[in-house]
Every structure is written in structure tokens, then in C-alpha cells.
Amino acid sequence: MAVYLNDVSRTFGEYLLIPGLTTKLCVPSNISLRTPLVKHKVGEMPAIRLNIPFVSAIMQSVSGPELAIGLARNGGLSFIFGSQPITDQVEMVRKVKKFKAGFVVSDSNLTPEHRLADVLSLINKMGHSTIGITDDGTSNGKLLGLVTSRDFRAEKDDHNMKVKYFMTPFDKLIVGQAGIALTEANQIIWDNKLNTLPIIDKDQRLIYFVFRKDYDNHRENPYELSGADKTLLVGAGINTRDYRERVPALVDAGVDVLCIDSSDGYSEWQSETLQWIKTEYNGKVLVGAGNIVDKEGFDYLVNAGADFVKVGIGGGSICITREQKGIGRGQATALMDVAQARREYQKKTGIYVPICSDGGLVHDYHMVLALAMGADFLMMGRYFARFDESPTKKLRIGNNYVKEYWGEGSNRAQNWQRYDMGGTENLKFEEGVDSYVPYAGKMKDNLAITLGKIRATMCSCGSITIEELQKQAKITLVSSTSIVEGGAHDVILKEQT
């Protein structure tokens, strides 16, 4: 006989937070949104902590390198989508890791005998205009000069002109010597009003570049999520089919954390993938798993080695898994059930396993509800797809600007690794749709508003950390009538001009 659960499957929209005592300490500037990304022993620090509780969804229409850079600079983390060739995903990870490293290995180099046309081609390919000119055109050749956008006029200069005639030659460069501290390098940049400082060894070979913009970016982004080597942190999605080839390539590229991407994570395939990674890398490669919606799924993945567990099936705005398969659970109910399982596991083992809530967020206040119900961080697709930094096109439809947004289970994504249940390698039916979302502009501006709302709500709950919120929050069910009451009603709204 089938097992029947008596609890109703509920969503975030059916709950409200009850205010707690707002003390004089509960002001937005005192709110800390730092949260663990991976499991750790109680009382010890996790290997990775987020500075804001946001990660971006493992989707083609969301998590490209530009969004990964933007989110990490603001304190969160992106998982570069895995529904693409391994080499392409690796290159996206490398692009994020190279963006800000303090000391940056040059990936744009030419010889003095190259021509302006080669410079323009390299700029177009790599996306940045500082080019090291070395004797052999490599990143570690003898430094002979430097080319930046100030050294030529693409619209007027002869594209056949050789680099040696317009580069800034070595004898006119200010350089740093190998072994210099980053603070000292930044001081040289500041004192000499430079944009770029080449770092060379005793044989004049190019070792690194240090960029002024990296220093400025760090000051403008105090919550930036970076490692001990000053590189931005970035994750990557993997599947349970080609992980033996994909994972080593991603690790070599410098990826900081992995996540197995699946619409249903309670499977032997995920267990095998987790165990292989943990055995192959002696537990040093961090990997999350999911998605699941109950205690059984949580226990299964944690016992297999998951460093965090992703909760949610069918709650995403473009997901139709529940409609197609009748599989899933209301996101609020699923999250509360898994959070209880996490508490039991922690009591038994002394290990805290972070929970990621994936899907079901319609309004910003739902984010606080999810955190209060036990989530340590939130994975969002639609939210990030609206921004300039997402990889999709901005279109004008009627009088409105929109961005394209499609699910990984849609025909457009053709992501059979994520949704196929075995057998032939094809997508048998869709579990996601192809859609648009309203264009919202720059990520940083929108994040500031959202995070401001979260901090204000936490103040009203009397909590200055996410951990306090989870312990102190009071949550109530609401009726359909009170939901109507919560919005503007019984008035005639003025038209927005």
C-alpha cells in the first residue's frame, strides 16, 4: 500500500513572519548575512562561507562567467552551467578565476612582429585590451613592451602596422620585480598613476600583471567573495554521466565547489558520483547534491558524501516537473522537513550540513521565510536572469524590455544529462519552458534593494544573523483572505507617470 503523508504541501506564499523584539542592536548596518556553503563540524569554520546567502541557478540562461563575476564581487557565488561541452565550461571557469587575482597571469600576448590586426583580433577574442609583448608571444616570454587601447586608433591606423612601431617599449615601462607584495605593487601603481604594472623576473621574463582596476573594484565591493589567492570563488554544475572526465577538467581550471545538477537527486547515480569524487580526491573537492524534498533524500545524499544539499522539485518559475510527472512538494513544506532532518543529523554526528533552497521564491520576503525555515542559502534563476550580467539577449516586446529565460528541462536547453532516467541519450519530454522575464538592469543596483529588504525584515524579527533568525523567527500560516488584505485594497491607485 502507498504511503500517505498527512501534512499539506505548502508554499512560501502561505506564511508570514511575526515581528520579534527589535532591540537597539537590530539596525541594518549590524545585520550579517554570512552563511556556510559547505558542511563543517559544529563550532568550526566551513571551508567556504558566503557573504550573502545567494547562489545562481545552474542554467544556460543564468550562470555564465559575467554573472559569476558580478555575483562573487557582491558576496554570492555562481554555479557555471554544465549543459555544454566540458572545454566550454572549463573556459568559463577560467575566465572567472582570472578576472581578479591580484597577480594575474597574462592570457593576451603577442610578439613585436605581429600586426595591429592581430591586436584587434585578440582584444575581440579575450575581451580586454592590455597585451603583453614578449619575444616569443607567450605569457612568460621576455617582456619587450606593452600595448593598451591608448597606443593605437583602430579606425585610422593601418591594420598592417607592426606592433613594434606603436607599443610602449620596455625601457619606458615601470615594472615590479618577482616576489613583490601585492600592497607594494598597488602602491607603485598609485604613486605613478598607472593602470597596469608588469611583474618580471631577474631575466626580464613576464610573470604577472597587477591592475589598478582590481584594487578599485575591491574597495567598491567590500563583500567580495574571494579566496586566499585573491581569485573570485566560482562553482560549476556537473552531471552523473561524464563526471569522470568533467570533474578533473574543472578542478584543473580552479573551480572552488561543484554541484550535481538534477531534477531528482534521490538516486543511486548521485550516490555513485559523490563517492567517486570523494574517493578520487581524498575528500578535498567540495560537492553539493540534490534536488530532494524530504528526510529520506537528505539522509541518503549526506551519507553518500554531499557537502550541501539542494531542496526543491518543481517550484521554479519555468519548471513543469509537477505538471508533467506529478512529482514534487510545496517548497516551504519540503524545506521545513529537510531542516528537521538536518537537525537530527547534526545532533547525531556533530556535523552541520548546509541546505540550499532552490525554487518557489516569488517575492523578496519569501527569501527571509526560506532562511527562517532552515535554508542557509538560496539558489535563484529567474531573479538573476533579469540582469545585464546574465548571458541572454535583451529584447523589446511592445513597450517593455525583457530577457530570455528558459529551463534546463526545455527543448532549447536539450539537457538530457539532467533529466534523462537512463537508456538512450535524449530528452524524452520537457520539464521546463522557454520564456521571458522583465529586464531589470544592473545586478548590483537590484541586489542592494533586495538585501536592504532582507536586513529590514530581519531587524523586525529581532535577529542580526541568519543563525539567530532560524532560532528566533515566529512564522504563521495565513488564509487566502488575509493574503488579499496584505496588499493594496479598497483604494483607487494612481497611475504611475
Catalytically active residues are: 319, 418
Pairing mode of beta strands 309-311, 257-260 = unpaired
Contacts of 50 (CB under 8 A, 6+ apart): 34, 35, 36, 37, 75, 76, 77, 225, 377
What gap in Å lies between CA 376 and CA 354, rounded to an integer?
6
What gap in Å lies between CA 15 and CA 482, rounded to an integer?
10
Grid coordinates representing 470?
Answer: 532560524
Q: One-letter amino acid identity for 168? A: T
What gap in Å lies between CA 384 and CA 57, rounded to an integer?
8
Burial of residue 454 (CB within 10 Å: 0-12, 13-18, 19+) is buried
**HSE on the CB side for 202, CA within 13 Å?**
0
The beta-strand segments (E) located in 313-468 are: 351-352, 355-358, 377-380, 394-397, 400-406, 434-438
Residue 217: its H or E element: helix 212-220
The beta-strand segments (E) located in 295-381 are: 309-311, 351-352, 355-358, 377-380
What gap in Å lies between CA 159 and CA 117, rounded to an integer?
5
What gap in Å lies between CA 113 and CA 122, rounded to an integer?
15
